[in-house]
Structure 1
Amino acid sequence: MNCPRCNSSTHKKNGVVCGCQRYKCHDCGYNYTVEVKSTASSPSVKRQALQLYLEGLGFRSIRIFLEVSHVSVQKWIKKFGQELEDLKSENEISIVEMDEMHTYIGNKKNIAGSGLLLIELGKNSSTALLVAEERKLDN
């Protein structure tokens, strides 16, 4: 640990500030604290949590898989939902991808199925809008 001002490695303890140890540089007399690294999860982990949630996993199952707190997962999902509400009517959609699944009942004339509409709001977006719709049988 070096002084941020003069890069000297000679220092001594100089009290505690907000629960963090303060140090004083012997060479320049500058007081500083050691920066604590953040425990925040990356956006990719948060997005993966959202994908797992949309696949049907619960908060505690996602917690075990991603090794984060289930409360964190719950807050991320809630935040994604709020972002989705904010983006729903404001932005123009650039990419729309549709996937449909068919199941034949009895013979090939009776088709039953469901579709899933996935709307992605850009490459670096943390929000995706999914809409599920069941297809009605034609008699």
Structure 2
Amino acid sequence: MTKQANIDATKRWGAEVASAGKYDVLDEILAPGFVDNDPAPDQGPGIEGLKDFFRKMRTAFPDLKAEVVEMVATDEHVAMRYTLSGTHRGEFQGVSATGNNFEVGALQIGRFENGKCVERWGSTDELGMLKQLGILERVAGQSK
């Protein structure tokens, strides 16, 4: 497959899966043995684990948006810098809705074979997200 096909698949991940809740798109863009090397807390393995993660995120943040800021690609890898944002309207990590908004930066690198992502690495400013949502103070208070 071409570098452009890998870029297009990565864009679909953000636009169709994260932002629009079309979880079955993951079956089209991820390889059957897909490995997430940086899973979110409580995320299960493989494609089904990722689908479940996005279901939970979109339940907690119905207006979740992943907007690409920059992409760089080779024939095998696609690196994406993006902004993740949403409004806390449902339970998230055991915390009921705060109504607060968040917007944080994130990075993702995907490795592709035959036009499908076989593994990913990523990093999201989770601390910044928890601070903006007002959750960090709640969690810190519980651990005392």
Q: TM-score, normalised by structure 1?
A: 0.30
Q: TM-score, normalised by structure 2?
A: 0.29
* Structure that is richer in helix per residue: 2
Structure with higher RCO (Cα < 8 A, 6+ apart): 2
